[in-house]
Amino acid sequence: MYWFDPMYLLFIGPAVLLGFVAQMMVRSAYASARQQPSRLSGVAAARHVLDSAGLQEIGIEMIPGQLSDHYDPRHKVLRLSQDVYNGRNLAAVGIAAHEAGHAIQDARHYAPLVVRNLAVPVAGFGSQIGGLLLVVGLIMSAMGHAWQPFGQTIFGLGVILFGTVVVFQVVNLPVEFDASARAKAQLVSLGIVDGHDMGPVRRVLRAAALTYVAATLQAILTLAYYVWRMQQQSDR
């Protein structure tokens, strides 16, 4: 089939493998940390971290799903999954504190977060429209020599737009790493978790960070494949 290109699998294979390993690590670390009790529930830990940073106005809501936790900068609210919201274990407080770390970043105007928030709509547009242009470009290039120049141009525009996804993923890495660093520091300094009990929390946050690394690597390698494919078309 024209659409199946084994080279694509070769390009993104390392990222897919890393993503699989990261997901396995997340599940293992999360399951283990859930067995370790904590002094506070996830919502109480998040509230304590936020209040200690002077962010009493930030709300906390419970949402459905597992590991669907996130901070919404538009509405200034932490949204925690039911297990994290109610959980009195190290997994719950670690994840809740991580999301509270994003709220602190937002309040402190942490530069990478500001850039990431600005990049979200651009990356969304680049992912959708860029993907469409890539497909259209391939179809036009396959229609014959007369259509190839137009197909290559459209494909090139698709590659450029997809590049915004890579920029977003790269900018997102320091945001996630910093939120985890803030979470670990706050959990210890506020006495929510004793220093010698931080091992399970660190493993959960480290495994979660690896999933972002894998996503970034996949975006970079996918872009590299598109650039290679564009070069192949130019050489024909």
Contacts of 145 (CB under 8 A, 6+ apart): none
How many CB atoms are closer than 10 A to CB 107?
A: 16
Q: Catalytic residue positions?
A: 99
Place of tokens 């970079």: 220
- β-pairing verdict for 77-81 and 70-72: antiparallel
